[in-house]
């Protein structure tokens, strides 16, 4: 009995030690968010005080209701939701499909084509900005959601293809071979064997794509012109007045904007669990 | 290591290149190929063409051949911006990756409430970049900033972080550690993909924590590490926003990064030809780096599914 007791005591101390370390880092890393929150509750005059005040005095909760009144936030919210959902689904589907080919099928020029995929994110987008705009104008897509959604249904971007590929390559090939012997085609292997084993990376990419499109500022700014088509990220500019910026309202709106992302991330984590079950292979 | 007896190897030798497999391969990447042709290839080629012209956006473009490239290589500020960027890449990226790995290992622990910590560590990646940059100008403030308050608390003297040309780049690298969340999540997904059986086998062999880490965790994490390394290098070569908002390239051009200089050429001086030439030089540099790393990766990146050639 004595031995068990001393062991649990040791474990408890160790766990406590880890909690302290983890909490110190959590507080440090969460600093930007704490500041965002605190600014969102300040009066306009307090936002740029030096030295900065971390605890607002008084707490101005009405910043939030005022922020929602100042800009058409709910409209921006629904626009953003629509863009983000369609863009994320397209990216997940087509990027995983391409990555499956790059990771598990053999075809001529595979390595060269993969390098071409990666090369698309190596050229600074500043110089392709004007030509890309001309492409979408030619297609008649300016001031619609299409430039923000459709390209993601055509490959889903180099980042996502590469990330899927890296994870697909860690799955033992014998799974494909076994399915092939059972008569499955490549599409069946992709959908029925590889994707179910890839939940952690699917969750990761879904969250990343969602957050990226949610926060994306640059592309909506260029392609969406009428205010009724704006997303939240560009709607925030509404607080940037001609003569002064209402930082406290802007931070309130920013906080409201990232709150759903926090919740999404928190719940998406349940899929960060072991994907590959090797035990079924043990007998082979 | 138990996993190296790759059962796929036998099958691999027995199968020749199949026409149907190649056809499926091309079919699966067809959406990407179409997207590349429709949305990406044209603008890329257009910018390459522009790099051989003089074009001030409002005036028609004039073909000048390689003149922009010649001008570029004789421009001291171009070389300075390349040096600043290389400093940021080669010092920042390895440190960033190291801290992301530590964080991933930490939040992979089996502790109650670990979900909460994962979320907290990811939080800075959610904060809008403009808000984040403004906050960091405060943190680095010589008089009121938290960075100096911390240094003084441990008995050191405060520093002029963003005002000292020798410190501005390190300061921006320190700031970048707050955005390890993305890399951490990718490494965490990688850690979760390591089969428990391998740890159990290692434990039976009597391996301690350290040798389990070196012999199981790290080799099986190399695909995710490799991904982070490649993406981080591509991203770090294009570092822009922090310098644009926080330092405007200063002090004394010490944070004049490549993309900031390019941006100024394009949208402040309207020299699109020059900016495009800069972009293509950067493209060649990053592409070369990436190819070298893919070649070297054969030596250290370990894929359980093996690479089929």
Q: How many other CB atoms sit within 10 Å of the CB of residue B154? A: 6
Least confident of A19-28, A153-162, A244-253, B235-244: A244-253
Residues in chain A: 284
B306, burial (CB in 10 Å: exposed 0-12, middle 13-18, buried 19+):
middle
Token output for B29: 């990447």
Average pLDDT over residues A229-238: 83
Which residues of chain A form CATH 1.10.3720.10?
Answer: 71-239
Least confident of A42-46, A48-52, A167-171: A48-52
Asked whether the beta carbons of residue A254 and residue B128 sit closer than 8 angstroms, the reply is yes
Three-class SS state of A23: helix
Answer whether B195 touches A (CB < 8 Å).
Answer: yes
Answer whether A210 touches B (CB < 8 Å).
Answer: no
Token output for B89: 């890449």
Question: CA angle, corner A139, sides to A134 and A142, nearest 5?
Answer: 70
Answer whether A35 touches B (CB < 8 Å).
Answer: yes
Which of A94, A163, A273 is nearest residue B227 as measured by Cβ atoms?
A163
| B17 pLDDT tier (thresholds 50, 70, 90) | low
From chain A, the residues in CB contact with B44 under 8 A are 120, 123, 128
* Residue A89 clears pLDDT 60, i.e. is over it: yes
Question: CA angle, corner A135, sides to A133 and A141, nearest 5?
Answer: 80
pLDDT score at B309: 41
Least confident of A130-144, A182-196, A247-261: A247-261
From chain A, the residues in CB contact with B308 under 8 A are 104, 106, 173
- Gap from B127 CA to chain A (nearest CA, Å): 7
CA distance A279 to A153: 36
Distances (CA, A) of B47 to A131, A154, A234, B44: 8, 22, 27, 5
Q: How large is the angle between the packed helices A199-215 and B181-192, nearest 10 degrees? A: 160
Q: DSSP labels for B103-163?
A: HHHHHTS--TTHHHHHHHHHGGGTS-HHHHHHHHHHHT-TTT-HHHHHHHHTT-----TTT
Q: DSSP labels for A94-130?
A: HHHHHHHHHHH---TTHHHHHHHHHHTTTS-HHHHHH
Instruction: Kindly state the percentage of chain A with pLDDT values over 70.
Output: 89
| Most confident by average pLDDT, A51-60, B29-38, B59-68, B194-203 | B29-38
CA distance A236 to A72: 10
- Gap from B256 CA to chain A (nearest CA, Å): 16
CA distance B167 to B159: 8
Token output for A199: 């939940």
Least confident of A46-55, A103-112, A121-130, A230-239: A46-55
Task: Provide the residue ranges of all domains of chain B, joining segments of one domain with +.
Answer: 66-111+180-300
CA distance B253 to B153: 31
ipTM value, please give it: 0.87
Q: Please name which of A220, A211, A227, A232 lies closest in space to residue A73, comparing C-alpha atoms.
A: A232
Judge if the upstream peptide bond of residue B251 is cis by omega within 30 degrees of 0: yes
| B5 pLDDT tier (thresholds 50, 70, 90) | very low
Side-chain-facing half-sphere of B78: CA atoms under 13 Å: 16
Token output for B184: 């951490």
pLDDT digits (tens, 9 = 90+) for B99-146: 999 999 999 888 888 888 888 888 888 877 777 777 788 788 888 778
Q: How large is the angle between the packed helices B93-107 and B181-192, nearest 10 degrees? A: 50
CA distance B94 to B193: 23
pLDDT score at B111: 83
DSSP state of B17: P
| A45 pLDDT tier (thresholds 50, 70, 90) | confident
Least confident of B3-7, B123-127, B211-215: B3-7
Task: State the residue for tokens 């001291």.
Answer: B76
Q: Could you tell me if A41 and A62 are in contact, meaning their C-beta atoms sit under 8 angstroms apart?
A: no
Asked whether the beta carbons of residue B28 and residue A104 sit closer than 8 angstroms, the reply is no
More confident position, B198 or B22? B22
Three-class SS state of B244: helix
The residue of chain A nearest to residue B36, with distances taken between CA atoms, is A154
pLDDT score at A244: 67
Average pLDDT over residues A208-229: 88
From chain A, the residues in CB contact with B234 under 8 A are 118, 121-122
CA distance A219 to A157: 15
Asked whether the beta carbons of residue B182 and residue A208 sit closer than 8 angstroms, the reply is yes
Q: Could you tell me if B169 and B254 are in contact, meaning their C-beta atoms sit under 8 angstroms apart?
A: yes
From chain B, the residues in CB contact with A185 under 8 A are 24
pLDDT score at A254: 85
Answer whether B8 touches A (CB < 8 Å).
Answer: yes
pLDDT score at B250: 79
From chain B, the residues in CB contact with A196 under 8 A are none
Residue B54: beta bridge partners? Answer: B62
pLDDT score at A6: 63
Contacts of A226-232 with C-beta under 8 Å, sequence gap 24+, read: A226/A143, A227/A72, A228/A72, A228/A75, A229/A79, A229/A143, A229/A144, A229/A145, A230/A75, A230/A76, A230/A79, A231/A76, A231/A79, A231/A80, A231/A83, A232/A73, A232/A76, A232/A77, A232/A79, A232/A80, A232/A257
Any idea which architecture A71-239 has in CATH?
Orthogonal Bundle (1.10)
Start-end of H helices in B237-271: 241-242, 258-267
More confident position, A16 or A272? A16
Which of B8, B32, B119 is nearest residue A265 as measured by Cβ atoms?
B119
Instruction: Kindly state the percentage of chain A with pLDDT values over 90.
Output: 36
Q: Please name which of A223, A208, A221 lies closest in space to residue A157, comparing C-alpha atoms.
A: A208
Q: How many other CB atoms sit within 10 Å of the CB of residue A73? A: 17
Q: Which fold has domain B66-111+180-300?
A: MetI-like fold (1.10.3720)
Least confident of A94-98, A202-206, A243-247, A276-280: A276-280
Three-class SS state of B56: coil
| A164 pLDDT tier (thresholds 50, 70, 90) | very high
Q: What is the model's pTM?
A: 0.88
pLDDT score at B12: 46
């Amino acid at each position: 009995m004595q031995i068990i007791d001393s062991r649990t005591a040791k474990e408890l101390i160790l766990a406590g030690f880890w909690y302290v370390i983890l909490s110190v880092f959590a507080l440090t890393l969460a600093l930007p968010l704490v500041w965002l929150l605190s600014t969102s509750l300040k009066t306009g005059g307090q936002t740029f005080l030096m030295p900065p005040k971390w605890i607002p005095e008084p707490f101005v909760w009405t910043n939030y209701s005022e922020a929602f009144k100042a800009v058409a936030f709910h409209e921006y919210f629904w626009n953003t939701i629509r863009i983000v959902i369609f863009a994320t689904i397209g990216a997940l589907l087509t990027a995983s499909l391409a990555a499956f080919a790059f990771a598990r099928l053999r075809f001529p020029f595979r390595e060269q084509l993969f390098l071409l995929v990666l090369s698309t994110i190596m050229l600074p987008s500043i110089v392709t900005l004007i030509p890309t705009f001309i492409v979408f104008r030619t297609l008649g897509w300016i001031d619609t959601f299409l430039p923000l959604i459709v390209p993601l249904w055509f490959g889903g971007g180099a980042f996502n293809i590469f990330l899927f590929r890296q994870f697909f390559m860690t799955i033992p090939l014998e799974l494909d071979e076994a399915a092939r012997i059972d008569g499955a085609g490549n599409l069946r292997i992709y959908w029925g064997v590889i994707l179910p084993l890839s939940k952690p990376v699917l969750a990761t990419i879904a969250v990343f794509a969602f957050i990226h499109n949610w926060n994306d500022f640059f592309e909506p700014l260029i392609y969406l012109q009428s205010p009724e088509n704006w997303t939240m990220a560009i709607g925030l500019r509404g607080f940037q007045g001609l003569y002064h910026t209402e930082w406290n309202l802007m931070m309130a709106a920013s906080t409201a904007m990232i709150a759903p992302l926090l919740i999404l991330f928190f719940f998406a984590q349940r899929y960060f669990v072991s994907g590959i079950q090797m035990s079924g292979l043990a007998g082979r | 290591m138990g996993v190296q007896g790759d059962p796929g190897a036998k099958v691999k030798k027995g199968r020749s290149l199949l026409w149907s497999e190649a056809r499926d391969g091309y079919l699966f990447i067809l959406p990407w190929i179409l997207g590349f042709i429709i949305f990406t290839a044209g603008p890329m080629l257009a910018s390459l063409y522009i790099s051989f012209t003089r074009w001030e956006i409002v005036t028609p473009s004039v073909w000048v051949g390689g003149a922009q490239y010649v001008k570029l290589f004789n421009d001291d500020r171009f070389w300075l911006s390349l040096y600043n960027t290389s400093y940021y890449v080669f010092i920042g990226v390895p440190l960033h990756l190291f801290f992301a790995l530590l964080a991933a290992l930490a939040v992979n622990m089996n502790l109650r409430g670990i979900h909460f910590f994962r979320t907290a560590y990811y939080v800075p990646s959610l904060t809008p970049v403009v808000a984040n940059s403004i906050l960091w100008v405060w943190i680095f403030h010589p008089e009121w900033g938290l960075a100096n308050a911390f240094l003084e608390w441990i008995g050191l003297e405060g520093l002029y972080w963003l005002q000292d040309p020798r410190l501005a780049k390190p300061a921006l690298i320190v700031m970048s550690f707050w955005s390890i969340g993305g890399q951490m999540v990718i490494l965490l997904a990688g850690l979760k993909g390591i089969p428990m059986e391998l740890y159990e086998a290692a434990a039976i062999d009597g391996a301690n924590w350290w040798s389990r880490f070196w012999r199981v965790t790290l080799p099986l994490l190399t695909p995710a590490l490799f991904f982070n390394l490649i993406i981080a290098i591509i991203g770090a070569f294009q570092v822009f926003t922090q310098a644009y908002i926080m330092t405007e390239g200063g002090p004394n051009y010490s944070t004049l990064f490549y993309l900031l200089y390019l941006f100024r050429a394009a949208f402040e001086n309207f020299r699109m030809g020059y900016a495009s030439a800069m972009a293509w030089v950067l493209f060649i540099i990053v592409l070369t780096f990436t190819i070298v790393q893919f070649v070297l990766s054969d030596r250290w990146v370990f894929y359980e599914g093996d690479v089929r050639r």
